[in-house]
Structure 1
Amino acid sequence: MSFPKTYVDQMLLNWGDRLFHDPLRHLRAPRMSRGELRRDVRRMREQLARTLRRTPEVMVKITNRAAGAQGMGAVRRHLRYISRNGRVELEDQDGMTVLGREALHDLTNAWHLGGWGIPEESRRREVFNVLLSMPPGTDRQAVRNAARAFATEEFGDGRRYVFAAHDDEAHPHVHLSVQVRGPDGKRLNPRKQDLQRWRERFASQLREHGVEANATRRLARGETRRYPKQAVVHMTKRGEMPRYWRSKADELTRHALWAAHAAPLEAWQGVVHAMAGSQSADDRSLAALVTDFVQTMPVQRDRPDMGRIDRNEGGRRRNPLREHGLRHAERSETQRELFPDDPDARVER
């Protein structure tokens, strides 16, 4: 049985939103015209193609999110750090450059005394420090230009900011310091969905500047690699052993990761179902590529041993996920559909 093109496009948007965007966006969106539908389908297919090619992923991170209250003292220290005490050029929201100690001193005075001002000591965060980064080998000038365009697009409402591009590490990256208060006094308060939007906009600007870049969630790619926090990195460099950090996941963590990937795997299965039933030979070929992509995800390499039976003292089979209040990974129908020949994907009842 083959599906008409309109049905395939609508199913692709439905499951694609669950993978790459807000899974409930399609419920809130108004009815689209044919032109809007074609535009969104084209974008979704481009997103799908980038993901299957494993296009390099952008990193956007707020580096002072866990910090406590900060005032101008902390802001001044960070601006000295990203400018290497005036040796690295800063660029502000108006395109003006700041270079040298005197220019840096004038900038910090302007932030301290101008506009809403930043008090020397504050019980609230006054500046967000954002890191924009790409993998080694990416064109550094393109990263800088994309960061400038991103900052203008996201914060170009009169909010003050400066950024500096660093070339002293393998990863091309830009430090962006944005004042919390905007020209109307409203405070910037980024949430998880805002960070994802920032990633998507930065990736879009990179593509505009000729750099292949993607911004998908880790779950959509089946990623399981665990990255240590900065405190752990510094402890390791000092030769200290972190008390709670382990580079390799234990059995409970692997069960939790497998369970967390159930919804994305279901969405990938929906994409495969729609494309495999398409009248287009290209779509059917794409369904095979998606299946190969999912089967080679890192989560497959790190999945727990579902076939191992571990019994408690009473002789009953233990369920570590249920014991810790987590979702039972072994009950995923989608995982069994995607991997029918995998003995670890079968449920023992």
Structure 2
Amino acid sequence: MAYPKAYIDAMLLNWGDRLFQEPFRHVGAPRLSRATMRDAATRMRDQLVRTLRRTPEVMVKITNKASSAQGMGAVRRHLRYISRNGQVELEDQNGDRISGPEAVRDLARTWQLGGWGIPEASHRREVFNVLLSMPPGTNRQAVRDAARDFAAIEFGDGRAYVFAAHDDEAHPHVHLSVQVRGPDGRRLNPRRQDLRQWRERFAEQLRVHGVEANATPRRARGVTRRYPKQGVAHMLARGEVPMYWQAVANAEQRRAGSQSYDGVLSAWWELARVIAASPARQDRAMAVGIADFVRTMPVLRDVPTAANSLQQKGPPQLERTPPKRDNRPNDPGLYIDR
């Protein structure tokens, strides 16, 4: 039978919310009006479509976590690094351009002595260094423009920041340095939820500038590849062997990873099951897309026990050519074979 659209929208938000939260957990949502639910369901459908199309994912991370807590000395070094000693133009929160070694030194002096000031040495974080990146081939000017708008939205409350776009690597990326203290003295203290929001906001601004971009958790896409932290990556680049990091997960890590994907696979299964009974043809087509997407998730290739879980729980097998239909009303025209 076909479910009413309002029911489909509610279930879509319920399972989509479970799927795209990280770490994977259900976040209770307030009661929504019908108009608000329709808008939220539309955004969720757009998110699902981008994910099923494997739209390029944005990367947003805080870099140099240790050095950014060591006062003005570390801040100067980072400003020299992102400006390539004044050769790469910086842009500040007011849109002013900063170019040349002397201008970068003047900026550092302004940050050290102006506003709340930055001590030469500090045990607290004084500046957050944020990296915004997209895959190779992305329009570099669009990445720069999206980074400018992202910074204005997230930090445009009078907080001082500068950013630089680097064009010397395959991945278009922007380095953004943000002072921890705002004009009211309150300190910026981003949590995991904030980083997730930053990714979503940066992806949104990229789409505004004509670049297809998505921001979803790796787990929701079944990605199992393990990426080294920045310090480990630098060691590997120097040819050194890290003591504790391993490129390949051991048996215990694979087993724990498999268990963490059970909820993800269940959420995808429930999404497919619900929207397969939608009266909208686009939803039913999306259900088929979900089945194909889940079958090709890397986790099913790399973690055998996750593949066993999929065989036990779903996803449903959605037939592209439905069997002979009867004349029952509200027949969705798409059948589920468990």
Write the letter of the residue equivalent to 1:46: D
How far apart, CA to CA, are the structure 2 residues paired with 1:288 and 1:120? 59
CA contact (8 A) 1:60 1:130 kept: yes
Deviates more, 1:139-148 or 1:270-279: 270-279
Change (3 A) 1:215 1:98: same
CA contact (8 A) 1:57 1:214 kept: yes
CA contact (8 A) 1:266 1:335 kept: no
Aligned match of 2:247: 247
Aligned match of 2:129: 129
Aligned match of 1:326: none
The alpha-carbon deviation at position 331 of structure 1 amounts to 9.8
CA contact (8 A) 1:262 1:335 kept: no
Map 1:330-345 onto structure 2 (within 5 A).
336-338=312-314
Q: Residue 261 of structure 1 aligns to a residue in which SS?
A: helix
Q: Residue 69 of structure 2 aligns to a residue in which SS?
A: coil
Q: Deviations over 1:66-92 (max 9, x none)?
A: 447310010001000100111110000
How far apart, CA to CA, are the structure 2 residues paired with 1:158 and 1:238? 40
Matched, 1:74 2:74: yes
How far apart, CA to CA, are the structure 2 residues paired with 1:67 and 1:85? 18
The alpha-carbon deviation at position 159 of structure 1 amounts to 0.3
Aligned match of 2:293: 293
Structure 2 residue ranges without an equivalent (≥5): 318-338
How far apart, CA to CA, are the structure 2 residues paired with 1:67 and 1:338? 47
How far apart, CA to CA, are the structure 2 residues paired with 1:152 and 1:116? 20
Q: Deviations over 1:278-307 (max 9, x none)?
A: 223332221111011011101001114x4x
Map 1:149-188 onto structure 2 (within 5 A).
149-188=149-188
Write the letter of the residue equivalent to 2:313: E
Q: Deviations over 1:21-76 (max 9, x none)?
A: 47544x342x3222211111110100000000000000001002344731001000
Write the letter of the residue equivalent to 1:337: K
Structure 1 residue ranges without an equivalent (≥5): 307-328, 342-349
Map 1:179-258 onto structure 2 (within 5 A).
179-258=179-258
Q: Deviations over 1:107-160 (max 9, x none)?
A: 111000000000111110100000000000000000000000000000000000
- Give the % identical residues: 65
Change (3 A) 1:66 1:261: farther
Q: Residue 289 of structure 1 aligns to a residue in which SS?
A: helix
Aligned match of 2:16: 16
How far apart, CA to CA, are the structure 2 residues paired with 1:204 and 1:179? 24
The alpha-carbon deviation at position 239 of structure 1 amounts to 2.3
Write the letter of the residue equivalent to 1:161: Y
The alpha-carbon deviation at position 253 of structure 1 amounts to 1.6
How far apart, CA to CA, are the structure 1 residues paired with 2:68 and 2:133? 24
CA contact (8 A) 1:12 1:41 kept: yes
